[in-house]
Amino acid sequence: MVQILGKDVGHTGFGMMGTNTYHSPAPQLSTGCPTLTLRLTPSCPGLTWRTTIADDKQAFSVLDAAISNNTTFWNGGELYGTPEHNSLHLCNRYFTANPRHAEKVLLSIKGGGGSQPMTIDGSRTNIRRSIDECLRILDGRKKLDIFEAARVDPKVPLEETINAIAEYVKEGKVGGIGLSEVDAATIRRAHSIHPIAAVEVELSLQSPDILTNGVATTCGELGIPIIAYSPLGRGLLTGNIATSNDIDKDDRRLHLPRFAPEVLEGNARMGAELKKIAEEKGCTAAQVAIAWARGWSGREGVGEVLPIPGATRAERVVENSKMVELSEGEWE
């Protein structure tokens, strides 16, 4: 079981952004640097960031399932939706209706968006604006356990961004500091400024980069848990996608390079292979994929790994939360 900020959060978390319910092109997060534009594609917009927003009955059933299945690390964002309806608004309504659950959940929120849509601003002024807005929306219904800038702003010294968040940690308004989409050197530098509670990066069989670029081992060395978003490869590892015909024509994943028609079938083969393993084990391909990501915890110097698949249905949360163990042969 993974511990973050001294709290047990189970072996699987919940991503409040999503990959299977967008009906528009994947948004890009501009850093203001002409050579550095980032595509914002972590785990599940499902409940707040889509054309047709889930009503509270559906959304609450998903969150109830997460709590019932000990999926108590929730990863959301000020950017996951609109200023009027995002992860924070959903949390406010949910915990207003279910105050007894607030202490069970460790809530991590990404923020720091700039004044223009899909930009980042890591200045002290804007980080304070973002955190204040998060706290205003939560309105005391739920503590802001972790705050992380959605991306590192190359125009602002890292010290300014981290120290701005640290002010709120010292005041007890925020529990800890997270990092998102960073390299090993940035993790080390940020941790020297203030202890880092968690690092959010992509990890899956299709995106294993952190295992070779120093990020995973740096987190292991420093004792920082890894929050692994998109452990299902944005659906390609579920075994339910073989061709573009298996994806709604309005699904924003079709705008991602790995879903391009000329490479999609090849990329989907891994999901088909996982499905074969899953059938032999009596589980699902998604559970095998999540188990693979989780299985890196403590291996080869890697830190603890908490996969955070997203979901828009309660039954999917239940599926994703089921603990599946892989044999050495299966894992490799």
Asked if residues 150 and 118 have their Cβ atoms less than 8 Å apart, the reply is: no
Of 22, 80, 94, 168, the active-site residue reads 80
Cα gap 8→70, rounded to integer Å: 9
Strand partners, 102: none
CA separation, residue 48 to residues 45, 259, 264 (Å): 6, 23, 27
For 252, the 3-state DSSP assignment is helix
DSSP β-ladder status, 28-33 and 36-39:
antiparallel
Helix runs in the chain, H state only: 56-68, 87-97, 124-138, 158-170, 184-193, 215-222, 261-281, 285-294, 314-321, 328-331
- How many CB atoms are located within 10 Å of the residue 36 CB? 14
- At 205, is the secondary structure helix, strand, or coil? coil
Active site residue 229: no
**296, 300, 303, 309: CA torsion to nearest 10:** -20
* Residues assigned a catalytic role: 80
